[in-house]
Amino acid sequence: MEFLYYFGDVFTPISFGLLLLGTIGGLILGATPGLSPTMAVALLIPFTFHLAPVQGLILLGAAYTSTVAGGAVSAILLKIPGAPANIATTLDGHTMAKQGKGAQALQLSFLASAVGGVIGVLLLIFLTPVLAQWALAFGPSHLFWLAILGVTVIGSLDSASVVKGLLSGCIGLWLATIGFDDIMGAQRFIFHPALGGGINIIAALIGLFAIPQVLTMFAKGRSATNAEVIEVEKHSIMDAVRELLRRPKALTIGTITGSVIGLIPGVGGQIAGLVAYDQTKKFSSEREKFGKGHSEGVIAAESANNAMVGPSLVPLLTLSIPGSPTAAVLLGGLLIHGIFPGTDLFDNHPDVAWTFINSMLIGQILMCIFGLYVAGLAARVAQVPQSVMAAVVLGLAVFGSYSVQSSMGDVYVMATLGVMMYFLERFGFSAAPLVLGLILGPIAEANFIQGSMIAGATDGMASYFLTGTLNIVLIAIVVASIAYSVWMELRSRRYTSKEEIMG
Q: Rounded CA gap, 86 and 188, in Å?
A: 29
CB atoms within 10 A of CB 332: 14
Which DSSP helix (H) or strand (E) runs through 158?
A: none
Instruction: Kindly tell me which of 42 and 166 has the beta carbon lying closer to other proteins.
Output: 42
Does residue 197 bind other proteins (CB under 8 A)?
yes
Does residue 463 bind other proteins (CB under 8 A)?
no
Q: Rounded CA gap, 407 and 257, in Å?
A: 35
Q: How wide is the angle at C-alpha 437 spanned by C-alphas 65 and 202, nearest 5°?
A: 45
Alpha-carbon distance values, 438 to 26, 205, 257, 482 (Å):
27, 10, 21, 20
Q: Which of 126, 340, 373, 484 binds other proteins (CB under 8 A)?
A: 340
Burial of 479 (0-12, 13-18, 19+ CB in 10 A): exposed
Alpha-carbon distance values, 455 to 36, 148, 149, 442, 448 (Å):
36, 19, 21, 19, 10
Q: Which of 13, 129, 193, 503 binds other proteins (CB under 8 A)?
A: 193
Structural contact between residues 306 and 110, judged by C-beta atoms closer than 8 angstroms: no
Minimum Å gap between C-beta 68 and other proteins is 16
Name residues contacting other proteins, limited to 372-411 (CB under 8 A): 405-407
Does residue 55 bind other proteins (CB under 8 A)?
no
Q: Rounded CA gap, 181 and 33, in Å?
A: 27
Does residue 457 bind other proteins (CB under 8 A)?
yes
Q: Which of 130, 183, 369, 483 binds other proteins (CB under 8 A)?
A: 183
Q: Which of 170, 319, 419, 478 binds other proteins (CB under 8 A)?
A: 319
Q: Rounded CA gap, 442 and 175, in Å?
A: 10
Q: Which of 2, 233, 344, 351 binds other proteins (CB under 8 A)?
A: 344
Does residue 320 bind other proteins (CB under 8 A)?
yes
Does residue 273 bind other proteins (CB under 8 A)?
no
Minimum Å gap between C-beta 43 and other proteins is 8
Instruction: Kindly tell me which of 146 and 244 has the beta carbon lying closer to other proteins.
Output: 146
Q: Rounded CA gap, 276 and 256, in Å?
A: 8
Return the beta strands (E) in 64-151 as ranges.
none
Structural contact between residues 65 and 23, judged by C-beta atoms closer than 8 angstroms: yes
Does residue 266 bind other proteins (CB under 8 A)?
yes
Does residue 179 bind other proteins (CB under 8 A)?
yes
Does residue 476 bind other proteins (CB under 8 A)?
no
Determine phi and psi for 179, rounding to 5 degrees.
110, -175
Instruction: Kindly tell me which of 20 and 132 has the beta carbon lying closer to other proteins.
Output: 132
DSSP code for 306: H
Q: Which of 51, 392, 454, 488 binds other proteins (CB under 8 A)?
A: 454
Does residue 25 bind other proteins (CB under 8 A)?
no
Q: Which of 458, 462, 499, 502 binds other proteins (CB under 8 A)?
A: 458
Summarize as ranges the residues that interact with other proteins (CB under 8 A): 38-39, 41-43, 45-46, 49, 136-140, 179-180, 182-185, 187, 193, 196-198, 200, 265-266, 315, 319-322, 325, 328-332, 335-338, 340-344, 405-407, 442, 446, 450, 453-454, 456-458
